[in-house]
A and B are shown apart, each in its own frame.
Chain A
Amino acid sequence: MKSVRQTALDVQHGDASALSVLEESLARIRARNEELNVFLYVDEEGARAAANAIDERVARGENVGALAGVPVALKDNLCQTNIPTTCSSKILEGWRPPYSATVVDRLVVAGAVPVGKTNLDEFAMGSSTENSAFGPTRNPLDTSRVPGGSSGGSAAAVAADMTPLALGSDTGGSIRQPAALCGLIGVKPSYGLVSRYGLIAFASSLDQIGPLTKTVTDAAMALEVIAGHDPLDSTSLPEPSPSLVAHVEDGVAGKRVGVVRELIDGADEEVVAAVERAVEVLKEAGATIVELSVPEFRLGLSAYYLIAPAEASSNLARFDGVRYGLRVDAEDVTAMMEATRTAGFGDEVKRRIMLGTYALSAGYYDAYYGQALKVRTLTIDAFRRAYQEADVLLGATTPSVAFEFGSKTADPMAMYLSDVFTIPSNLSGEPAISIPFGIGEAGLPIGVQLLGPGRSEAQLFAGARVLEIADGRP
């Protein structure tokens, strides 16, 4: 498929119809969806109606928006009116939301065409999409390997050229890690930049929605559309959407880039080598390189795997068989709720609910949850100190390239460790972007990560663009 930018230009200028773009997307989905298990639901009829409406508006000479005719894939934890939304869980199978997420409304207003809902780790809990109740998604670049997770379906949709744009959600790396494993740009925006209204909550103080694309400019275009204040999300930042596309070519001359040892140590040799090459590229582009050590980042994993489950145990209490979704009948209401939750949730979701319930329970609250919240403060303070010495930070996105199916499923802790480089940004609520940079020995893409202070997205896109050009994608 053509890029987001080119597709929108073609449709705006009448050089291609939105319908012909959509038909190409649908044909590509039909060709590989059975093999890859990317989409859980494809809304062919709704997407055709939306594409036709755009074409009619183009014919009337109307302004059709920044994303005119761009087919977009939505992670299936984003609500879309009357379109099945499952979170890849049996507990929501068959449920059709009565409203759309704010991001979906904004995409549609900008002329994008939602084509369907993509697979994820159940309730976004996982790093491989193997935790889906509807089977794993395969990595389009090597079908013996995972696409990463939890936004694995969204990453696979773009990597397999089914759509040029997908939205995911990132609680501990769930956009950036699959982006790295599938060779894509993945953005975790500043907390509050993008409305979470209509995103089914996993860990509310960490969740953010962001784009997955093949180019930096495409990601900037999509983020501009979905960002900005929303009165329906009380944690939404008060300001309007920032200008991002205009800054993509700003470069890094004069910027201080902090290379963080803790965002590299423990990664495979080829990943470390990619980060080192990125350092050289940024230096040649005029950046000053600063070597940094931020030991607090090592504690992030421990804090995250108490904070996120604690919030999840509370958020997922709403799935009780009363108002929507699955109900397993039993003689009284408590037995019904227990039977429903036991049948409806998969193992990883149960693990996290149990962990969170334990961390919040009487006698353990201070030792676990209370301690984790203090470590969160340490992480935020450590970022603040690092940003006194550097404008942006650089590291690896993941310790390794895409791994094989089943290689980490028996050992939850091994799976959790694949998020070690992405978690700090979620704890601090600050933005980070993963950029494909080089190919490893197995022929699979490697991702490097740029991190910045709150609301510094424009600066991150500019840095990412420098790396993109150096990696041979002018």
Chain B
Amino acid sequence: MPSLRREDVAHVAKLARLTMSESELDKFTEQLGQVLDHASDMNALDLEGVVATAHPFGLINVVREDERRPSLDHDVVIAMAPDAEDGRFAVPRILGEAP
């Protein structure tokens, strides 16, 4: 199994939208490495042909009639947002500087 490198941790932090300081990168590389090392006991196993289980019971799609039913109140939901405008969630700009 590949061992965890500091640059892997930096890359994963970026994917997970977390900012890591230099000292945090060191700490997390060591700690996550220990968990992955412990998990290497699974590598000794011959799992050829074993089916993966993503869920304890065989899940099937649950469907219902496509009919209108009550849901959360729009105004109540919008009122929870850190920022809203005209009944919609407001966020900082999502594109680069306007030309």
Q: Assess the A373–B57 pair: CB atoms within 8 A.
A: no
Residues of A close to B12: CB separation below 8 A:
354, 357-358, 361
Residues of A close to B52: CB separation below 8 A:
370, 373-374, 376-377
Residues of A close to B83: CB separation below 8 A:
327
Q: Assess the A429–B57 pair: CB atoms within 8 A.
A: yes
A326: CB under 8 A from chain B?
A: yes
Q: Assess the A305–B39 pair: CB atoms within 8 A.
A: yes
Residue of A nearest to B77 (CB): A98
Q: Assess the A306–B19 pair: CB atoms within 8 A.
A: no
Q: Assess the A374–B51 pair: CB atoms within 8 A.
A: yes
User: Chain A binding site: helix, strand, loop or mixed by DSSP?
Assistant: helix
A132 to chain B, nearest CB (A): 19
Bound-complex Cα distance A306 to B43 (A): 13
Residues of A close to B55: CB separation below 8 A:
205, 235, 429
Tell whether A302 pairs with B17 under 8 Å between CB atoms, given A361-B12, A373-B53, A374-B47.
no
Q: Assess the A321–B28 pair: CB atoms within 8 A.
A: no
Bound-complex Cα distance A358 to B33 (A): 11
Residues of A close to B28: CB separation below 8 A:
350-351, 354
Count of residues in B whose CB is under 8 Å from the partner chain: 50
Residue of A nearest to B94 (CB): A333
Bound-complex Cα distance A416 to B93 (A): 41
Within 8 A of A (CB), among B6-62: 8-9, 12-13, 15-19, 28, 31-32, 34-36, 38-43, 45, 47, 50-57, 59, 62
Bound-complex Cα distance A192 to B56 (A): 9
Tell whether A345 pairs with B18 under 8 Å between CB atoms, given A301-B38, A302-B42, A358-B8.
yes
A294: CB under 8 A from chain B?
A: no
| Central interface residue in B19, B55, B89, by most chain A CB within 10 Å | B55
Bound-complex Cα distance A299 to B51 (A): 16
Binary flags per residue of A275-314, CB closer than 8 Å to B gives 1, else 0: 0000000000000000000000011011101100000010
A63: CB under 8 A from chain B?
A: no
Residues of A close to B18: CB separation below 8 A:
338, 341-342, 345, 350, 353-354
Residues of A close to B80: CB separation below 8 A:
95-96, 98, 323-324
Query: What would be 15 A-B contacts, judged by CB atoms less than 8 Å apart?
Result: A98-B77, A299-B41, A320-B17, A322-B82, A324-B81, A331-B92, A331-B93, A354-B16, A354-B18, A355-B36, A358-B32, A358-B36, A370-B52, A372-B39, A413-B34
Please report B residues at the A interface, Cβ cutoff 8 Å. 1-2, 4, 8-9, 12-13, 15-19, 28, 31-32, 34-36, 38-43, 45, 47, 50-57, 59, 62, 64, 72-73, 76-77, 80-83, 89, 91-94
Please report A residues at the B interface, Cβ cutoff 8 Å. 95-96, 98-99, 191-192, 205, 231, 234-235, 298-299, 301-303, 305-306, 313, 320-327, 329-339, 341-342, 345, 350-351, 353-355, 357-358, 361, 364, 367-368, 370-378, 380, 412-413, 416, 427-430, 454
* Further 4 A-B residue pairs, CB within 8 A, beyond A323-B77, A338-B18, A367-B1: A191-B56, A298-B41, A357-B15, A367-B2
